[in-house]
Amino acid sequence: MGRIPLLVDTDCVLPFDRWIDWGEYCIRIDEADLGQIGKRVVEFHQSLSPEAYVERQLACRKLWKDWLSPQGFFANFWRFVRIKP
């Protein structure tokens, strides 16, 4: 909803992963690297300028609105249920 998610990757499948490059929207930490989570979050924040941080937040908000909000989810749900002739 506008925040940059922190994902602890436990080999999970994310929604709409065929169409969304989740690496563009979240900080992804492998489960094996949990001991480094604080360091990785700090590195992520230091790698972005204030402007780039705001841009990333806006992109996350747009992603939520277009794909993950109730309206966005159901607007894209057809991608999963297409019936082939």
pTM, two decimal places: 0.80
Q: pLDDT for 14-63, tens place per residue? A: 989 999 999 999 999 999 999 999 999 999 999 999 999 999 999 999 99
Rounded CA Rg of the chain: 15
